[in-house]
């Protein structure tokens, strides 16, 4: 053995083997591109509806476009509501009138309302059903329809926002604590 490293011999691949490798790489690249295009098309077709536009400044240049957009917008029932009420109601006894319970339907609201009160663990049986409260009216000196024994109760007050025919447009749920003293 001489002090020289031995030369390694490399075999040259036949041209057809290199050609096959190039074809496979091109095919894999094409499949990846098709998959990406398909994913983009799928996402564009199934994207959520655009949020309603707000704070659009109308100018003489865009007035016709803004009017057209407004005409083509989907109608949304009124349903804005600001809750004005006490959230802890005290009763001397289960059948007494509360001196601190009130619910107001402020004049700025868009709908008349009525509400039902349920024990938090039983929303099948209302313990209070209110009359209709027109906008700008208030209900106070509230008594429960179903008397409760002494204790503290976690409750849910469900507002029903109604249209002119008194059909429910939407509801609003508010937590409420009822305390019966004795």
pLDDT score recorded for residue 121: 93
Name the range with the highest mean pLDDT among 46-50, 55-59, 63-67. Answer: 63-67
Provide the token pair at 40.
């983009």
Say yes or no to pLDDT of 157 above 60.
Answer: yes
Cβ 116 vs Cβ 133: under 8 Å:
no
pLDDT score recorded for residue 107: 83
As a whole number of angstroms, the distance between CA 117 and CA 178 comes to 10
Cβ 78 vs Cβ 169: under 8 Å:
yes
Span 91-113, mean pLDDT?
91
Span 155-167, mean pLDDT?
90
Span 135-160, mean pLDDT?
94
**35 falls in which pLDDT band (50, 70, 90)?**
confident
Cβ 152 vs Cβ 61: under 8 Å:
no
As a whole number of angstroms, the distance between CA 106 and CA 123 comes to 26
Least confident of 17-21, 22-26, 51-55, 117-121: 51-55
Say yes or no to pLDDT of 75 above 50.
Answer: no
pLDDT score recorded for residue 53: 46
Give the list of residues 6+ apart from residue 12 with CB closer than 8 angstroms, or none.
none
Span 38-54, mean pLDDT?
66
Provide the token pair at 57.
């400044």
Does 3.40.50.11820 match the CATH number of domain 84-180? no
Span 20-33, mean pLDDT?
86
Which part of the chain has CATH 2.60.40.2550? 84-180
β-strand partners of 170: 161
């Amino acid at each position: 053995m001489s002090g020289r490293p031995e030369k390694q011999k490399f075999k040259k691949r036949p041209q057809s083997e290199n050609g096959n490798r190039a074809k496979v790489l091109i095919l894999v690249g094409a499949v990846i591109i098709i998959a990406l295009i398909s994913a983009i098309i799928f996402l564009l077709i199934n994207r959520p509806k655009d949020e309603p536009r707000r704070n659009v400044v109308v100018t003489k240049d865009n007035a016709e476009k803004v009017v057209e957009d407004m005409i083509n917008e989907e109608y949304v029932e009124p349903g804005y509501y600001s809750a004005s009420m006490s959230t802890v109601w005290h009763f001397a006894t289960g059948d007494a009138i509360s001196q601190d319970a009130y619910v107001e339907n402020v004049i700025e609201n868009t709908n008349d309302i009525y509400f039902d009160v349920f024990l938090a663990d039983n929303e099948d049986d209302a313990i209070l059903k209110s009359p209709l409260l027109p906008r700008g009216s208030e209900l106070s000196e509230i008594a429960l329809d179903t008397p409760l024994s002494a204790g503290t109760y976690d409750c849910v007050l469900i507002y029903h926002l109604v249209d002119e025919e008194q059909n429910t447009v939407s509801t609003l749920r508010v937590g409420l604590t009822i305390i019966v003293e004795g």
